[in-house]
């Protein structure tokens, strides 16, 4: 550290210069995050100093977290869902596996996930000492449930399905997974970190939530399609009491026990996540999602006209193409199979899609 503090003016011109080096979202087509909704930013600013790690000191903010859980639980068709606001999908997935592990003692526990699962499961399995078994995908990049049978055994503590895969935007056959989970009495965790804020707002929603009797827990991230500030994730569970298995004593806080992973937790991003849901309502969210899906349809059509076919028809707003180039100035990403990947987030407006397509067309000409 400096011996004497830096004058404010100098400090902020330094910070502004560094901030300038960041890319604006305008040309970022590779991210599942987006510019926060203006309502999210406004709400965030009101709650800067709040700490949900000590909720007795911030009962107002804590009640907003309860509302967020209740709103998202209801969206997932279970008004009595338990849950809490996490730092994102990674923490939600880790905590879901912790719950599953506590509930089924096994000598060498394993978790069965699709090959498309997010890398957070690798971290969680490493931390929790779980063997990760990977189920192959079908031709449409969804979990091939035919291959599932041989992979589950009595040491399987959890089965995982994904709603809106990070790379290809696919929804696993959760209905089938729910049957398997019920049949074999296995905890079923649904990773809807991305798709949880998309699928319920589609014209034809694909069933994946607590309406399916085998589903025990769901991850859903407001800081992706929920347009909140970062960090805002949510872990939802069918039975609130499953969190008891994670409770530890917290002697000097206003609550006696906590089941969360983090101690100190931001209230600001949680208030922001709730504010967006309240402000937009179902109708507003449907409009946002419809816009993203419509822009994606245009992107796919435009790319195919240029001779770059889609890798698959996605269930949510993640488009992939057989295309090994990209125009300068744009951030796209590559899947592990080398496909070009574009996430049609709310900041990817129609004019952005048109500008991208036009630049794609020019590389071809050149």
Ligand X SMILES: *Cc1c(COP(=O)(O)O)cnc(C)c1O
As measured in angstroms, the least distance from the Cβ of 341 to ligand X is: 12
CA distance 191 to 332: 24
Count how many residues are written for the chain.
366
User: Strands 156-162 and 187-191: what pairing?
Assistant: parallel
Query: Judged by CB, which is closer to ligand X: 37, or 308?
Result: 37
> Rounded CA gap, 34 and 24, in Å?
10
Report if residue 300 touches ligand X, rule: CB under 6 A: no
> With contacts defined by CB under 6 A, how many residues of the chain interact with ligand X?
14
308-347 binders of ligand X (CB under 6 A): none
Closest by CA to 221, choosing from 172, 269, 188, is: 269
Q: Does 120 bind ligand X (CB under 6 A)?
A: yes
Stretch near ligand X under the rule CB under 6 A, chosen from 87-95, 251-259, 265-273, 330-338: 87-95
Q: Which of the residues 179 through 208 are near ligand X (CB under 6 A)? A: 191, 193-194
Q: How far is the CB of 327 from ligand X (least distance, A)?
A: 26
Q: Which stretch binds ligand X (CB under 6 A): 23-31, 36-44, 89-97, 246-254?
A: 89-97
Say which residues have a Cβ less than 8 Å from residue 126's Cβ, sequence separation at least 6: none
| Residue number, 263 or 309, with CB nearest to ligand X | 263
CB of 49 to ligand X, least distance (A): 23
Question: Taking the CA atoms of the chain, what radius of gyration do you get in angstroms?
Answer: 21
Q: Which residues contact 10 (CB under 8 A, 6 or more apart)?
A: none
Query: Measured between alpha carbons, how far apart are the two ends of the chain, in Å?
Result: 51
Stretch that binds ligand X, among 18-26, 51-59, 88-96, 246-254 (CB under 6 A): 88-96
| The only residue of 169, 233, 266, 327 in contact with ligand X, by rule CB under 6 A | 233
- Which residues 6+ apart lie within 8 Å of 238 measured at CB? 78, 81, 82, 210, 215, 216, 217
The DSSP line for 335-365 is: -TT--EEEE--TTS-HHHHHHHHHHHHHHHH
170 binds ligand X (CB under 6 A): no
Helix (H) or strand (E) run with residue 215 in it: strand 215-220
| Binding of ligand X by 221 (CB under 6 A) | yes
Given the complex with ligand X, which of 55 and 169 has the nearer CB atom? 169
Secondary-structure percent of the chain, ordered helix, strand, coil, rounded to 5: 40, 15, 40
The answer to the question of residue 89 lying near ligand X (CB under 6 A) is yes
| Cα distances (angstroms) measured from residue 285 to each of 53, 68, 191, 246 | 30, 15, 20, 33
* Cβ proximity to ligand X, 318 vs 340, nearer residue: 318
- Residue 168 in the binding site for ligand X (CB under 6 A): no
Determine if 132 is a binding residue for ligand X (CB under 6 A): no
- In the window 9-68, what residues touch ligand X (CB under 6 A)? 32
88 counts as binding ligand X under rule CB under 6 A: yes
Residue 162 in the binding site for ligand X (CB under 6 A): yes
Q: Does 293 bind ligand X (CB under 6 A)?
A: no
CA-based nearest residue to 35, from 349, 360, 355: 349
Per rule CB under 6 A, is residue 118 in the interface with ligand X? yes
CB of 255 to ligand X, least distance (A): 25
Nearer to ligand X by C-beta: 225 or 357?
225
Q: Count CB atoms within 10 A of the CB of residue 212.
A: 20
Residue 70 to residues 16, 52, 183, 293, Cα–Cα distance (Å): 39, 17, 29, 27
Q: Which stretch binds ligand X (CB under 6 A): 49-57, 86-94, 149-157, 275-283?
A: 86-94
**Stretches 83-91, 124-132, 168-176, 322-330: which one binds ligand X (CB under 6 A)?**
83-91
Residues near ligand X, by CB under 6 A: 32, 88-90, 93, 118, 120, 162, 166, 191, 193-194, 221, 233
């Amino acid at each position: 550290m400096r011996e004497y503090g830096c004058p404010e003016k100098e400090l902020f011109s330094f910070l502004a210069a560094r901030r300038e080096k960041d890319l604006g979202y305008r040309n970022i087509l590779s991210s599942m995050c987006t510019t926060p909704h203006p309502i999210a930013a406004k709400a965030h600013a009101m709650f800067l100093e709040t700490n949900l790690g000590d909720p007795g000191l911030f009962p107002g903010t804590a009640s907003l977290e309860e509302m967020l859980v209740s709103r998202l639980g209801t969206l997932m068709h279970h008004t009595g869902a338990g849950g809490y606001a996490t730092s994102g999908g990674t923490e939600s997935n880790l905590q879901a596996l912790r719950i599953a592990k506590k509930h089924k003692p096994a000598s060498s526990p394993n978790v069965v996930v699709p090959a498309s699962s997010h890398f957070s499961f690798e971290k969680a399995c490493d931390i929790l000492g779980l063997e990760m078994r990977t189920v192959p995908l079908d031709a449409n990049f969804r979990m091939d449930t035919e291959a599932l049978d041989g992979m589950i055994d009595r040491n399987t503590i959890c089965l995982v399905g994904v709603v809106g895969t990070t790379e290809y935007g696919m929804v696993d056959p959760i209905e089938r997974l729910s049957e398997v989970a019920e049949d074999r009495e296995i905890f079923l965790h649904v990773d809807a970190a991305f798709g949880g804020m998309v699928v319920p707002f589609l014209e034809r929603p694909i069933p994946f939530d607590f309406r399916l009797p085998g589903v025990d827990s769901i991850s859903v991230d407001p800081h992706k399609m929920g347009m909140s500030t970062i960090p805002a994730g949510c872990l939802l569970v069918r039975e609130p009491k499953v969190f008891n298995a994670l409770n530890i004593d917290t002697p000097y806080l206003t609550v006696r026990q906590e089941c969360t992973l983090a101690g100190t937790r931001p209230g600001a991003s949680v208030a922001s996540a709730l504010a967006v849901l309240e402000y937009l309502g179902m109708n507003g969210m449907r409009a946002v999602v419809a816009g993203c899906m419509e822009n994606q349809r245009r992107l796919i059509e435009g790319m195919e006209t240029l001779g770059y076919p889609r890798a698959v028809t996605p269930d949510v707003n993640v488009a992939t193409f057989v295309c090994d180039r990209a125009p300068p100035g744009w951030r796209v990403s590559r899947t592990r199979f080398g496909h070009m990947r574009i996430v049609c987030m709310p900041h990817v407006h129609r004019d952005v899609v048109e500008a991208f397509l036009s630049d794609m067309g020019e590389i071809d000409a050149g």
